[in-house]
Amino acid sequence: MARDEFEAERTTYNFVGTRPDRPDGIDKVTGRARFGADMTAPGMLHAVILRSPHAHAKIVKIDTSKAEAAPGVKAIVTRADFADGLDGENWNILENVMAGDTALYDGHAVCALAATSMLEARDAAKLVEIEYERIPHVTDVDKAMAPGAPVIREGADDGSVPAGMHPNVVRYHESGHGDVEAGFAKADLVLEETFKTEATHQGYIEPHACLGHMGTDGKGELWCCTQGHWNVQKVCAALLGTETSALRVTASEIGGGFGGKTAVFIEPVALALSRKANRPVKLVMPRADVFRATGPTSPASMDIKIGMTKDGTITAAKGVFRLSGGAFPEAPMEFSAMCAFACYDLENVLQMGYDVMSNRPKQAAYRAPGAPMAAFAVESVLDEMCNQLGLDPLEVRLKNAAKTGSKASYGPRFDQIGLVETLEAAINHPHYKAPLAEGQGRGVACGFWFNHGGETSVSLMLSEDGTAQIAVGTPDIGGSRASMALMAAEVLGIPYENIRCVIADTSSLGYNEISHGSRVTYASGLATIKAAKDAVNRMCQRAAAKWGIDPDAVYWEDGYAKPSGPNAGEFDPMHITEITANMGATGGPINGHFEATPEGAGVSFGTHIVDAEVDPETGHTKILRYTVVQDAGKAVHPTYVEGQYQGGAVQGIGWALNEEYIYGEDGSLQNALFLDYRVPVASDLPMIDTVIVEVPNPGHPFGVRGVGETGIVPPLAAIANAVSNAAGVRMRQLPASPPRILAALKDRDAG
């Protein structure tokens, strides 16, 4: 190719940056879209999973004889029906999917059965007799690492943990640079505070659901609601002891995931039941099971120490982050540690993380896992220091902000980044200058997230009429089908409406990593652009052959193959429809393809401003105004980008004010329903204003940075700062629920 306009940084676009209608809109509002629970098959059975009512208990006996004799029951499975000899994360997943000899948390799966109707399955489940022997439990992260705490799993330490710690501490992280003690010595003010956050659930409205059919030959089909069906394929094959390629997995439409549907919970159970019954098995989680047994975030306990001079320069920062990922070794404490101070260009920084096991469900990712709680702790201390020193909190952040070339708190030097631009946009936003009334407070905070690339394959198929289909392997959790079509339209030069993007099943495309790490618009987008370019190359070759000139003398522009100049020859531009109409006769179908593990996902920063009002008599908080400023690199479909910003803010409002896992003294979850697990409702919220900052990511042809996760990093901190400033008392524990705020006010008044 003589001219490759996409290798250079693009600045003008015909399609990217526009706001066309979403391709899945009509399907979703008319009910045509098929979600996890919408799949059916002839002869299908319905499954129920029995779960431990105890936080920690030996499973002494499971007697299924009465249930087996019950009407309609076709299969019952326990741990014995899954593969043995697994190790590593596959063993952990199996241990979570179906308990071995010990139930590790309230809601841990112990047994499952399938029957010809849901009613029969539910009735039969009541006939399974399970004998437990309760043993001591612990659910609090600090108590779980204290001397004398019951040990969840002996010998789970991965070798990184400092000597002398409780066996529940299973992994340790330390990073940073400089000399923090020397830095604190230079400070005019040093503040050290302890913070806690509770576990929250992603709160997707669609419960996990799947339909599995596996024959006794080990070959199977699975339809499920997931963020990553290749991962489901791999995990299910391992847990069932079959070959990966024997199982085809198709992802349904997804009613929310937010990271929580990156994990595997029920699919192997449906397949194991199906294999035993030789019938298709449908499994839909009741809401209470979703709360009790699918991954919430990790609860966190954190110590932050920051030194600052009178002019607002941070001289040193240190953080300790203790997180529990439940009864499994995987709390994202290193992400907490690495993200905590990443917004700031620091000479001296030290961060440590502890992964602590407890009797809670296996944690799962939730948008920027580990980062929001760390930001809450760090940005609260900064806010308090600005209050004490009489400094403007955004100006102090700007003064210390990480810039292109800064050495990140977690190690590398930043490439082109946009934190300063978000801070400047926030400082100049009318919201930041708006007056506040008595009883109201304003909070600000910054947030950081790495973003991710990951294994990616995309195919693009041209049709004879010059339209295109794109097969991607990343389930659409945030509007990616629209974004892929826009990016392909940009390359092909055909209308957005002429491109249909589908999520291919595992047998139709190469491996695709999960839709996580804000990677889809970046990585699948990059692959879509490259696949479209591949198709363009082939079309240029067809035109060159027709014209009898060298393919290098043909370039592509606005949907036409064109000779690259007078030396190439005088030919009329050839439209895509002309090329595709004859492609069968000129060399065969024209498809584009690209596969890679792109590693240029640009990191992302955001700055949030929140106004809150606190009722001093009841502790009730009202969010009055909210503005999100975030760097998108390049917003492909700005409406979806704004939706991601707003969604992050809203989930952050829930986490900051009312959402929490509440465990009773007996270690059972007290609020496993949306009634008492309080996500914000529409009437709780103001309009969330958004500002899209665009500092291009050099690692993407159009400059895209992922936007899905950064938006939930600043809210906990920004809201806690607003509430603390409104109430006049620092809230160091989230959620800052009305009882906690009222108690803090009472404590303050009592001196």
Partner 1 sequence: MQFHSPTSFAEAAKLAADAEGITRFLAGGTDVLVQLRADAVTPDTLIDIKQISGTHDITRRADGGWDLGVAVTGAEMTEHPDLSTDWPGLVEGMDLIGSTQIQGRATLTGNLCNGSPAADGVPGMVTAGVTVTVTGPDGDRVMPVEDIPAGPGRTTLAKGEVISAVHIPPRGAYGGDAYLRFIPRTEMDIAVVGCSVSLRRDGDVITEARVCLGAVAPTVVLVEDAAKALIGSALDEAALDALAAAAEAACNPINDKRGTIEFRTEVAGVLAKRAAKIAYDRAGGAK
CA 478 to chain centre: 11
What does the DSSP 8-state code read for residue 498? G
At its nearest, how many Å lie between partner 1 and the CB of residue 615?
9
Nearer to partner 1, 582 or 618 (CB): 618
CB of 286 to partner 1, least distance (A): 8
Q: For the CB of residue 140, give the shortest distance to partner 1 in the complex, in Å.
A: 16
Cα(462)–Cα(440) distance, rounded to whole angstroms?
57
Nearer to partner 1, 217 or 617 (CB): 617
Nearer to partner 1, 401 or 742 (CB): 742
Choose between 468 and 657: whose C-beta lies nearer to partner 1: 657
Give every CB contact of residue 683 below 8 A, 6+ residues apart in sequence: none
Q: Choose among 218, 276, 211: nearest CA to 247.
A: 218
* Distance of closest approach, residue 271 Cβ to partner 1, in angstroms: 26
For helices 267-277 and 229-240, give the axis angle rounded to 10 degrees.
50
44: Cα separation from own chain's centroid: 32
DSSP label at residue 616 = T
Main-chain phi, psi angles of 131, to 5 degrees = -100, 125
Residue with token string 């949306």: 674
**CB neighbour list of residue 747: distance below 8 Å, 6 or more residues apart:** 729
Between 26 and 673, name the residue whose CB sits nearer to partner 1.
673
Shortest Å, Cβ 684 to partner 1: 5
Residues that bind partner 1 (CB under 8 A): 122, 288, 617-620, 657-658, 662, 670-671, 675-676, 678, 680-681, 683-684, 737-739, 742-743, 746
Q: Pairing state of beta strands 300-308 and 189-197? A: antiparallel
Residue closer to partner 1 by CB (options 164, 751) is 751
Please say which residue, 2 or 743, places its beta carbon nearer to partner 1: 743
Contact 724, 647 (CB under 8 A): no
C-alpha 556/C-alpha 750 separation (Å) is 75
Identify the DSSP state of 114.
E
Q: To the nearest whole angstrom, how small is the minimum distance from the Cβ of residue 522 to partner 1?
A: 35
3-class SS string, 245-307: HHEEEEECECCCCCCHHHCCCCHHHHHHHHHHHCCCEEEECCHHHHHHHCCCCCCEEEEEEEE
Structure tokens at 103: 């139930």
163 or 681: CB nearest partner 1:
681
Query: Minimum distance from CB of 291 to partner 1 (Å)?
Result: 12
b (16+ CB within 10 A) / e for 160-194: ebeeeebbbbbbbbebbebebeebbeebeebbebe
User: CB within 8 A of 490, min separation 6: which ones?
Assistant: 13, 14, 15, 16, 529, 702
* Least separation in angstroms between CB 716 and partner 1: 16
Minimum Å gap between C-beta 745 and partner 1 is 10
Cβ closest to partner 1, residue 244 vs residue 440: 440
Least distance from C-beta 679 to partner 1, angstroms? Answer: 9
> By C-beta, is 437 or 675 nearer to partner 1?
675
CB of 141 to partner 1, least distance (A): 19
What contacts 454, CB < 8 A, 6 or more positions away? 513, 514, 516, 517, 519, 523, 597, 598
d(CA 402, CA 408): 7
Exposure string over 460-473, b if 16+ CB within 10 A, otherwise e: bbbbeebbbbbbbb
Torsion angles phi and psi, residue 682, rounded to 5: -55, -40
The residue whose two tokens read 């479909």 is 637
Specify the length of the chain in residues. 751
The minimum distance between CB 13 and partner 1, in angstroms, equals: 41
Are 106 and 292 within 8 A, CB to CB? yes
- DSSP single-letter state for residue 413: B
Q: Return the sign of the alpha-carbon dihedral for residues 145, 146, 147, 150.
A: negative
Structural contact between residues 491 and 6, judged by C-beta atoms closer than 8 angstroms: yes
Q: Shortest approach of partner 1 to residue 46 CB, angstroms?
A: 15
| Distance in Å, CB of 670 to partner 1, minimum | 4
Rg over alpha carbons for the chain, rounded to the nearest Å, is: 27
Nearer to partner 1, 69 or 743 (CB): 743
Burial class (CB in 10 A: 0-12, 13-18, 19+), 554: buried
Question: What is the CA angle 489-494-497, rounded to 5?
Answer: 75
C-beta neighbour count of 16 within 10 angstroms:
23
- Of 162 and 739, nearer to partner 1 (C-beta) is 739
Q: Which is nearer to partner 1, 447 or 680 (CB)?
A: 680
545/662 with CB nearer partner 1: 662
Q: Which is nearer to partner 1, 399 or 620 (CB)?
A: 620
Structure tokens at 518: 């804000």
Q: Which is nearer to partner 1, 308 or 657 (CB)?
A: 657
Q: Shortest approach of partner 1 to residue 297 CB, angstroms?
A: 18
CB of 620 to partner 1, least distance (A): 7
Output 496 or 626, the one with its CB closest to partner 1: 626
Min dist. Cβ of residue 99 to partner 1 (A): 21
Smallest gap from Cβ 390 to partner 1, in A, equals 34
d(CA 290, CA 288) in angstroms, rounded, equals 5
Question: Hey, what are 702's tokens?
Answer: 């159009």
Compare residues 632 and 656 and give the one whose CB is closer to partner 1. Answer: 656
Beta strand 349-356 with 102-103 is: unpaired
